[in-house]
Amino acid sequence: MNAIVHFRDVVKKYDSVMTVNHLNLEIEEGEIFGLLGPNGAGKSTSIGMLSGLIDLNGGDITVGGSSIKSRPIDVKRQIGLVPQELAIYLNLTAKENVTFFAKLYGLRGKLLKERVDEALLFVGLLDRAKDKPSTFSGGMKRRLNIACAIVHRPKLIIMDEPTVGIDPQSRNHILESVRTLNRLGSTIIYTSHYMEEVEAICTRVGVMDQGKLIACGTMEQLRLLAGQDTKLAFELDREEPQALEEISSLPRVKQAGSIGEGIIEVICKDSAAILQDILFIFHKYGISLRTMTRTEPGLETLFLQLTGRSLRDQ
Ligand SMILES: Nc1ncnc2c1ncn2[C@@H]1O[C@H](COP(=O)(O)OP(=O)(O)OP(=O)(O)O)[C@@H](O)[C@H]1O
């Protein structure tokens, strides 16, 4: 894997306030990277610097090896930015909007027409191509915003809170689009303070607070970092005290016990690493597994544990 985005010691100050405080971050090609944090954490400022819209006060950011400071045009060409505020023209039709952005990115002629239709189809607005966005719902406007950002098939797509205040249908459409764009080869950076969205679609998550990256990793890694426990529940065809004893003595298992009706619960750290060991013990004692459930603490709990504050109540 190659890092497509590299923040190196990035600083942004407004007056004397460190809005982005020595941010170091690498995002690999092919990731859906979630940038999570409460309002004012510095997410939009970081994204703004990455997109060349805000100057840096220190450090550097590279995209595909090009520096935003010395080669901003190279960087911008690789990026599709879906900004938090809608960046569409209400007096142009949907098609004219997407065409405008396609031309900005240098598309011309037949290719331009193809890509515009493709982008409108992708966001489910091809049948509304001739309508002006003033007649669209909030969710449709956001989808048009996405079409404008992806029409040039960028390597890196940045979405800044794209689902704020929209209907569930458009929200699901957008989340599904993110997955599809990623499958088609784009790396995605997705900022949000909706933890459920980040948990559902992101392969890795960076948690920002007060201008700093306070944690970064897969959900499993973040849980480990915060020292949180996962609960595994196994429904078995029979219970075997010796098997339970062996499970209890596995490293990383904090607690294992029967809760009756053939169900045993295991409280552990890093459940992915010990699952094989537990299944091996069942096999050794000839115990059949009927069902298994895994309950994990969410990002909200994790944020609380890392900062002592809630993500939502900022
Ligand atoms: N142009 C500006 N001048 C002064 N302060 C600013 C400016 N832009 C942002 N800030 C401040 O920087 C801090 C970080 O803002 P930023 O928009 O990056 O946060 P965020 O994590 O994206 O939050 P949100 O989810 O609300 O967009 C905030 O305290 C904000 O008030």
Gap from CA of 155 to ligand 1 centroid (Å):
26
- Cα–Cα distances in Å, from 161 out to 174, 187, 215, 264, 312? 11, 16, 20, 41, 14
Domain 229-296 belongs to what architecture?
2-Layer Sandwich (3.30)
The Cα 89–Cα 117 span in angstroms is 18
CATH of range 3-223; options 3.40.50.300, 3.40.630.30, 3.90.226.10, 3.40.50.1980: 3.40.50.300
- Give ipTM to 2 decimals: 0.95
What residue's CA is closest to ligand 1, atom 4?
14
Tens of pLDDT, residue by residue over 126-163, are 999 999 999 998 889 999 999 999 999 999 999 998 88
pLDDT at 314: 43
pTM value is 0.78
Of 115-119, 151-155, 271-275, 299-303, the range with the lowest mean pLDDT is 299-303
Mean pLDDT, the chain, whole residue set: 89
pLDDT at 311: 67
Q: Helices (H), strands (E): how many in the chain?
A: 11, 14
- Cβ of 81 closer than 6 Å to ligand 1, yes or no, is no
- 8 A C-beta contact, residue 182 and residue 158: no
Nearest atom of ligand 1 to the alpha carbon of 44: 22
- Cβ of 192 closer than 6 Å to ligand 1, yes or no, is no
- Residue 182 tokens, joined: 């990623």
pLDDT at 1: 57
DSSP-derived letter for residue 189 is E
Nearest atom of ligand 1 to the alpha carbon of 84: 27
Residue 300 has pLDDT above 80, yes or no: no
Rounded average pLDDT over 91-118: 94
Every domain range in the chain assigned CATH 3.30.70.100 = 229-296
Nearest atom of ligand 1 to the alpha carbon of 208: 21
Gap from CA of 297 to ligand 1 centroid (Å):
29
Every domain range in the chain assigned CATH 3.40.50.300 = 3-223
- Cβ of 40 closer than 6 Å to ligand 1, yes or no, is yes
- Cβ of 42 closer than 6 Å to ligand 1, yes or no, is yes
